[in-house]
Structure 1
């Protein structure tokens, strides 16, 4: 499980000798999982404190739901929601590492100013043509996810000749765009649930180790997703056990970051898998 991969965060290296946990905080009412939503400053700080106490290495703040059918959020509103949340968290927990979950460069800019240190983009720049130039200029670590289309039409774009070959090529080309301009701090996310059928999601998980050829940090977001609760015919609120099972498989197959709603079970999975593999 040990790896030499790392990313540069404001001049300091974050090593991935062992996998990290990213805890999700949504400051929008549209997120598919209600327990990750916060609507008051008190709720925000309580959730941030809980996730950090349970062992979260990074807090991922989102103000725009990517689920199909979610309400469009104006840019100004997304900036206000996320930047305010980031400032509050940094004031209470100054050492917290925060990522901003957005596909808009304006939101990313405001979030970095507010105290975020990573940008997590579900579209890898495809939904905002200015995002990649912004990231390179800002020298910010960038989480790029594989997706086709947008959240409204992505489930109509699920035909692949070879899904893993296409994902590897997608990231290879993207990484080349960044490295050609001297930007190395890229994290890749295969995008479970985005422009993929349930069977394709399981195939990507099964073959996740193929992404190691890219020599980048690998993030997986499996937490309480439909591939779990629809397969098991349960509600997302009952999908914690299924999440832990799939996160364990992801760790065996090379995941470096688990993006989750429930931090403690992910921390425990990492400890147990690390003990097993080492």
Structure 2
């Protein structure tokens, strides 16, 4: 039975997402470059808070190989500053439309858990909604995404903002993730959301062992029915056990990226775009 299931995964390797009428194929893995507009993100807080530096960094990531720029106005690290929707919108300003004007072929995803910010982003030109809350932090999120018809990144996370980083899961982590996704996907489809990308939520409410188990069993997340996004860049489950800082684990991260690609990841959400581009090239050259 396991062999038949793995064969079914192989048969569903190729995915595409509809971004405002543009059919984006994911047969070749895509890089999502992180653009944090926050003063308090754990590894790059304060670097891109003004429009000029944010645009320069976006250009750098596009030139290095990012197909998607993920814009976030609110940090979700432990004990981060909490912003309401209006504060997020003020922090984003005109950046989305300016990046779209400068790089029309680049997809823009918006990292927010507010429906109001999604509506704003849609008017500004975003192509993808990246909601770390799985619709848990704003009950209007799924309805709003359904209205926009944008692809939606569904992340596995604890049910409340306050418990986001608490280690609460005692059952098998893969079983927990797949039960969560099964329910959420049904709910999203009821609201007309058809393009769904699954994010296992590395680093969110999981022990070091649970994070590594999720990576080891990544090919079984979502049963191979939807494209997978992996976001492990500068995560503490990598650097803390090694006694290193978030900026000292590029080599270890790229090894895990290669493993994620072997197991079917289609989008890698990263800070280090050039290094990840080389990893994808090495993976494709390997023929695995």
For residues 11-69 of structure 1, what are the alpha-carbon distances to aligned partners after superposition, in whole Å with 9 as ceiling and x for unaligned?
12111111110000011111111278402222111101100000101000000000110
Deviation larger for 263-272 or 19-28: 263-272
Extract unaligned runs of 5+ from structure 2: 1-9
Does the 8 Å CA contact 1:187/1:219 hold for their aligned counterparts? yes
Match of 1:38 in 2: 48
Structure 1 runs of 4+ aligned residues shifted over 4 Å read none
In structure 2, the partner of 1:191 is 201
TM-score (norm. length: structure 2): 0.91
Q: Does structure 1 residue 266 correspond to structure 2 residue 263?
A: no
Post-superposition offset of 1:212: 5.2
Matches within 5 A, 1:74-85: 74-85=84-95
1:67 correspondence with 2:67: no
TM-score, scaled relative to structure 1: 0.95
For 1:146 and 1:102, how far apart are their aligned partners in 2?
15
- Aligned counterpart, 1:243: 253
Please say if 1:92 is aligned against 2:112: no
> Is residue 25–residue 59 contact of structure 1 (8 Å, CA) maintained in 2?
yes
Using the TM superposition, name which of 147-156 and 100-109 deviates more.
Answer: 147-156
The SS at the match of 2:223 is: helix
CA distance in 2, matches of 1:275, 1:44: 33
Q: Which of the residues 85, 104, 129 maps onto 2:114?
A: 104
Change (3 A) 1:169 1:36: farther
Offset from partner CA, 1:82-120 (integer Å, 9 cap, x none):
242212212322322100000001111101111111100
2: CA distance between counterparts of 1:205 and 1:47?
A: 29
Q: Secondary structure at the match of 1:256?
A: strand
Partner of 2:3: none
Q: 2:164 aligns with which of 154, 168, 171?
A: 154
The alignment of Structure 1 onto Structure 2 pairs a total of residues equal to 278
